[in-house]
Amino acid sequence: MRFLSGLKISLFLACLLPLARLLWLGFNDGLGANPIEFITRSTGTWTLSFLLITLAITPLRRLSGWQWPIRVRRMLGLFAFFYACLHFTTYVWLDQFFDPTSIYQDIFKRPFITIGFASFLLLIPLAATSTQAMMRRLGGRNWQRLHRLVYLVTIGGVVHYWWLVKKDVTQPAIYAAVLAVLLGYRLWRKRSGPAFLNGASTQSTSRPAQENQR
Amino acid sequence: MLIKRPSDILPSEITDREIYRSRRQFLQSVPAALAVATLPGLFSTPVFAAEKLPGARKSPFSTGEPATPYKEVTTYNNFYEFGTDKADPARAAKTLTTRPWTVTVEGEVKNPRTYAIEDLLRLAPLEERIYRLRCVEGWSMVIPWQGFSLSELIRRAEPTGNAKYVEFVSLHDPKQMPGQRSGVLDWPYVEGLRLDEAMHPLTLLAFGLYGEVLPQQNGAPLRLVVPWKYGFKSAKSIVKIRLVEKPPVSAWMRAAPSEYGFFSNVNPAVDHPRWSQAKERRIGEFLKRPTLPFNGYGDQVAQLYAGMDLKKFF
């Protein structure tokens, strides 16, 4: 228990480092010639990173046999939402300065913004139902079904990044590759079927929601 | 045409520049001092970049808008020959050797010639042209260039009746340009203009920036500056200028024909397929500003495109 709370506190602080870095750079003239672009990119790529880290929890737990990763998954998922909110706020406030016409046109005319915005919207119900009380109210099954949206959100996020870059897709390709591994692992396990599950009792889908696998 | 008086340049701008310069000179003197102490000659390139280009006369084509500081102009660059991140060229372009350098003018001309860069610099009197630069990505700067109209060079080559277009070829040498080891564009970088665009007095062959020899990351030792077109049309580190009959296929047209056309005139009414071109962020400013047709040079160049559908010929 003490291990877990210590872990949670250090992880919480670690998750704030990308924001701390931006603030530090901001106050030290370190954001380059186009600070708004820098902040938009940074909060965007950290959103993707946190989504991928969250999706890595289940494989990590399965492969290592550790139980603690599942205990920090909610926090990691909420940090993905936190950076997505910063990303969205940067766009609406700093980049567009609340210009309704150009935001409206962006969302409906630019496929990369359409998909980014849709992914952000889909993250909201996941964040809203992340509490124990909401899990209980929804019931494990429904909660789990709802939270499978995270796959769609992450795919949408990677596509959003891919369509945005002018020509060099190296960076989005790295995120896409990690996502492919994480999704591939799940497909492979699903295809291998129950015979593969050596510790079948801990994997059962009827377990309480928090313990369920995504 | 509105000609603004030089008093529009704020005294604070000038001070700024001196501070940047002295800081730069100090920073450059550090590796130079190290070089003297340890490996003579190894760090000679960055010292070279600060060479002055004196005596450029002022030009009525200059804008009175405040210039973007030297630091931003030289650290935020799209120059894929040195990497695709805008911070890459300032870091990686030191490997570019700009002397000796030759430029060949050839093709449909009566006087083809290969110029040494030193001779080219003396071809016509240098002018300072303070131009707006609008990048296709949606940001802009105001940059004081030193150079002369490209027409000075083309005129001397005497284009034949077949010459309709001008093709610009940039250096292709992966040893000096590490970004060329990646296939992000088809190398060498190629750009093109219609002959009348190339002969327009605004079209500048630039050798300097802020009164100094062009830094490598800005396209040394010579580049094109076509202020009414998106930045990528202004080819950098040019080695060949070829007059041709057919429209050249530029590197960006080859890479994404639906996104980058031959003309690529700055046009707020024609969006890039993936983003809007209606506004731009001037580097150093917080709020975006509206983008002007032909980047504000419409009075001078709009007649070049009279009767053309600019949505079709984007």
Instruction: Give contacts of B 161-190 with A, CB under 8 A.
Output: 182, 184-185
Q: Is the pLDDT of residue A122 over 90?
A: yes
Q: Is the pLDDT of residue A198 over 60?
A: no
Complex prediction ipTM: 0.80
Chain A residues with CB under 8 Å of B281 CB are 34, 36-37
- The CATH number of residue B172's host domain is 3.90.420.10
Average pLDDT on B260-266 reads 97
At B82-137, the pLDDT tens digits run 999 999 999 999 999 999 999 999 999 999 999 999 999 999 999 999 999 999 99
Tell me the C-alpha to C-alpha distance, in Å, between residue A130 and each of A76, A126, A209: 11, 6, 10
Query: Per-residue DSSP letters for chain B?
Result: -----GGGS-HHHHHHHHHHHHHHHHHHHHHHHHHHHSSTTTTHHHHHTT-B-TTPEE-TT---SPPPPHHHHHHS---GGG-SSTTHHHHHGGG---SS-EEEEEESBSS-EEEEHHHHHTSS--EEEEEEEE-TTSEEEEEEEEEEEHHHHHHHH-B-TT--EEEEEE---TTT-GGGGS-SSPSSPEEEEEHHHHHSTT-EEEEEETTEEPPGGGTTT-EEE-TTB-GGGS--SEEEEEEESSPP--HHHHH-TTT--SS-B--TTS-BTTB--SEEEETT-SS-EEPPGGGGTHHHHGGGGTT--TTT--
> What pLDDT is recorded for position B17?
55
Give the domain ranges of chain A. Answer: 2-211
At B214-249, the pLDDT tens digits run 999 999 999 999 999 999 999 999 999 999 999 999
At B6-18, the pLDDT tens digits run 445 554 454 455 5
> What pLDDT is recorded for position A209?
42
Q: Is residue B179 a part of any domain in this protein?
A: yes
Confidence of residue B41 (pLDDT cuts 50, 70, 90): very low
Give the long-range contacts of residues A83-92, CB within 8 A, separation 24 or more: A83/A18, A83/A19, A83/A43, A83/A46, A83/A47, A83/A50, A84/A43, A84/A47, A84/A120, A84/A123, A86/A19, A86/A43, A87/A40, A87/A43, A87/A44, A87/A47, A87/A120, A88/A117, A88/A120, A90/A36, A90/A39, A90/A40, A90/A43, A91/A40
Joined together, the tokens standing for residue B174 give 């992966």
Q: Is the pLDDT of residue A152 over 60?
A: yes
Q: Is residue B1 a part of any domain in this protein?
A: no
Q: Is residue B151 a part of any domain in this protein?
A: yes
Q: Report the Cα B149 to chain-centroid distance in Å.
A: 13
Neighbouring residues of B63: CB distance < 8 A, sequence distance ≥ 6: B4, B130, B131, B132, B142, B296
Nearest to B184 among A110, A164, A167 (CB): A167
Confidence of residue A144 (pLDDT cuts 50, 70, 90): very high
| A196 or B73, which is more confident | B73
Residue A41 touches chain B, beta carbons under 8 Å: no
Best residue in B274, B281, B283 for a mutation probing chain A (most A CBs within 10 Å): B274
> What pLDDT is recorded for position B75?
96
Query: Range with the lowest mean pLDDT among B49-53, B214-218, B290-294?
Result: B49-53
| Count of structural domains within chain B | 1
| A133 or B14, which is more confident | A133
Q: Is residue B235 a part of any domain in this protein?
A: yes
Instruction: Give contacts of B 276-305 with A, CB under 8 A.
Output: 276, 278-279, 281, 283-284, 286-288
Q: Is residue B229 a part of any domain in this protein?
A: yes
> What pLDDT is recorded for position B224?
98
> What pLDDT is recorded for position A194?
60
Q: Is residue B313 a part of any domain in this protein?
A: no
Q: Is the pLDDT of residue B303 over 90?
A: yes
Chain A residues with CB under 8 Å of B77 CB are none
Nearest to B276 among A106, A163, A167 (CB): A106
Average pLDDT on B276-300 reads 96
Can you give the residue range of the structural domain that contains B208? 6-305
Contact flag B75-A32 (C-beta cutoff 8 Å): yes
Best residue in B73, B85, B275, B277 for a mutation probing chain A (most A CBs within 10 Å): B275
Give the position of tokens 């009566």: B110
Query: Per-residue DSSP letters for chain A?
Result: -HHHHHHHHHHHHHHHHHHHHHHHHHHTT-S-S-HHHHHHHHHHHHHHHHHHHHHHHHHHHHHH--SHHHHHHHHHHHHHHHHHHHHHHIIIIIITTT-HHHHHHHHHH-HHHHHHHHHHHHHHHHHHT-SHHHHHHH-HHHHHHHHTHHHHHHHHHHHHHHHHSSS--HHHHHHHHHHHHHHHHHHHHHHH-GGG-TTHHHH-TTS-GGG---
Q: Report the Cα A165 to chain-centroid distance in Å.
A: 20
Confidence of residue B205 (pLDDT cuts 50, 70, 90): very high
Residue A111 touches chain B, beta carbons under 8 Å: yes
User: Are the CB atoms for B48 and B24 separated by under 8 Å?
Assistant: no
Average pLDDT on B198-210 reads 98
Quick check: bond before B188 cis, omega within 30?
Answer: yes
| Minimal C-alpha gap between B84 and chain A (Å) | 7
> What pLDDT is recorded for position B38?
41
Q: Is the pLDDT of residue B266 over 50?
A: yes
Contact flag A32-B76 (C-beta cutoff 8 Å): yes
Contact flag A168-B84 (C-beta cutoff 8 Å): yes
Average pLDDT on A58-84 reads 95
Best residue in A25, A31, A34 for a mutation probing chain B (most B CBs within 10 Å): A34
Quick check: bond before B46 cis, omega within 30?
Answer: no
Q: Is residue B61 a part of any domain in this protein?
A: yes
Give the position of tokens 């630019």: A110
> What pLDDT is recorded for position B314?
94
The average confidence (pLDDT) of chain B is: 88
Amino acid, res. A207: R
% pLDDT > 70, chain B: 84
Q: Is the pLDDT of residue B54 over 60?
A: yes
Confidence of residue A167 (pLDDT cuts 50, 70, 90): confident
> What pLDDT is recorded for position B18?
52
Residue B194 touches chain A, beta carbons under 8 Å: no
Best residue in B136, B232, B271, B276 for a mutation probing chain A (most A CBs within 10 Å): B276
Residue A106 touches chain B, beta carbons under 8 Å: yes
Average pLDDT on A25-32 reads 93
